Structure 1
Amino acid sequence: MPLSQPPPPRGTLLHIAERRHWESARDAGVSYAMSTLGRTLDEEGFVHCSSDLAQAEGVLERFYAGVDRAGLLLLVIDVSRLDAPVRHEPADGSLFPHVYGPIPLSAVIDVRPVPGSR
C-alpha cells in the first residue's frame, strides 16, 4: 500500500483508532483509553501505537484487514504531551511503541484518515 500522507512530525506516535471511540472521548472531553481494535487500555495494559506510517500500514494489513477503513482514524500523538510512559517493545520482529496510560486529548495534534482510505 503506497504512502499517501505526509510523514508525521518528529516526536510523535501514530495510533489507529476506531472513529466512534475517538469521537466519543473527544466529545466527552475525556482522555482516550482504547488500546486496539475492540480492546480497552484496562484490558490490554497499554495503548498500541506505531512509530511511523510504514509500521501503521503493516498493522492495518495484519490486524484490521476486515474492518471498513471509513470507520478508522489515525491519531498523531505528541509524545511530549503524554502523562504516561512510552516503552518500545518487541512484537512480530519489530519494536512497537506502547503508551502505558490514557492519551490526553491535548496530546492528539492531528487526526487523519488511515492509509488506504478514500
Structure 2
Amino acid sequence: MTILHLALADDWTAAVEAGEYRVSTLGRTLAQEGFIHACADLEQLRAVAGRYYGQVSGPLVVLAIDEGRLDCPVVLEVPAGAGEAFPHIYGPLPVSAVIQVTPFTR
C-alpha cells in the first residue's frame, strides 16, 4: 500500500543526503513525536496542508511511501480531535521506501 507524507523540500533534500527522513510533521521530529505523520490519500493530505502548512512560504513535496519497504510498523490511528484514522510510521523513513516525490501545489 502507498501512503503519503507532506514535507518541506529542504527537509527531504537533507534526508536524501542522510539516507533517511526523521521529520514527523512541520517543526516536529520523529524523536519528539514518536512517529512520522502520514496520510492515506490525497484528500487527507490536502486537509493536512490547509490545516498545518498554510503559512509555509517555502516549497513542499509529497512523498509517496511504499509501506512494504519500511522496516517499522505503520499504525492507523485516530488523532485527538480528528474524525478519521491516519497512518503513523513508527520509525525512521528510509529514502529507499519513497517511490515518488512530487512538488505540492495548493
Q: TM-score range by the shorter chain?
A: over 0.9
Unaligned residue ranges in structure 2 (runs of 5+): none
**C-alpha distance after superposition, 1:27-84 (max 9, x if no partner):** 23x211100001100000000000000000000011111112x421100000000001
Q: Which residue of 2 aligns with 1:95?
A: 85
Amino acid at match of 2:17: D
When the two structures are aligned, how many residues end up with a matched partner?
A: 104
Q: Which residue of 2 aligns with 1:107?
A: 97
Shift of 1:112: 0.5
CA-based RMSD:
1.0
Matching of residue 84 in structure 1 with residue 72 in structure 2: yes
Q: Which residue of 2 aligns with 1:39?
A: 28
Q: TM-score normalized by structure 1?
A: 0.84
Q: Which residue of 2 aligns with 1:72?
A: 60
Alignment partners' CA distance in 2, 1:111 and 1:86: 20
Alignment partners' CA distance in 2, 1:38 and 1:72: 14
Instruction: Give 3-state SS (helix, strand or coil) of 1:24's partner.
Output: helix
Q: TM-score normalized by structure 2?
A: 0.94
Contact 2:59 2:103 in 1 (8 A): no
Contact 1:74 1:111 in 2 (8 A): yes
